[in-house]
Amino acid sequence: MPVLPGLRACPDFLDRDEERALIARIDATDPTPFKFQGWTGRRLTTSFGWSYDFEAGRPVAAEPLPDWLLSIRDRAARFAQLDPTLLVQALLIRYDPGAGIGWHCDRPVYEDVIGISLGESATMRFRRRCKGGFERATAPLDPRAAYQLSGAARHEWEHSIVEMDRPRWSITFRSLSMIGRKNLAGEPISRA
């Protein structure tokens, strides 16, 4: 991992049996193509807890986290030194060959971001605007490892993953930010 303030890695967060079982679980949720302004991505996703509706530009309540995810969420919370109940969102992604994720900063309704990698190795690219261009950094996303984005890595740097030749899966847990807590408090539970 490069020295990027707020980026932490945890190698061997999962063992191989857990990785295999989680991949089967993710596939069994029947992940659907990510849609944005009429454009359909090659990235397939399932959300639990909250889901960001990119068409409406706001988060909507999703099905609660299933039991099989809870022990992994608790482990992610221990790694991030957070109360597990704060991790109210889980995003499952399957990147089929040729799929990646473009430059972005995660939505400000969310605060902490903890990601777990399964399948093919990938590289997370980071960039931050500076005078005359971008400052850049990269971090390996090894299978079965976890990473946490907080501080500058979370808020000041954008990240992306280039398209891979072989499938990769990820599980991302997120807590709500103060903005998210304010906006979503008392939100009626209309399922996404």
Contacts with ligand AKG by CB under 6 A lie at 91, 93, 101, 106, 115, 117, 141, 159, 161, 170, 172
Name the residue whose CB lies closest to ligand AKG.
170
Of Fe ion, ligand AKG, none, which one sits near residue 115, judging by CB under 5 to 8 A according to partner kind? ligand AKG
3-class DSSP state of 84: helix
CB-based contacts of 85, cutoff 8 Å, min separation 6: none
Cβ closer to Fe ion: 106 or 112?
106
Cβ closer to ligand AKG: 117 or 148?
117
CB neighbour class for 191 (10 Å; exposed up to 12, middle 13-18, buried from 19): exposed
Q: Where are the beta strands (DSSP E) in 96-157?
A: 101-104, 110-119, 122-130, 133-141, 146-149
Interface positions with Fe ion (CB under 5 A): 106
Cβ closer to ligand AKG: 170 or 177?
170
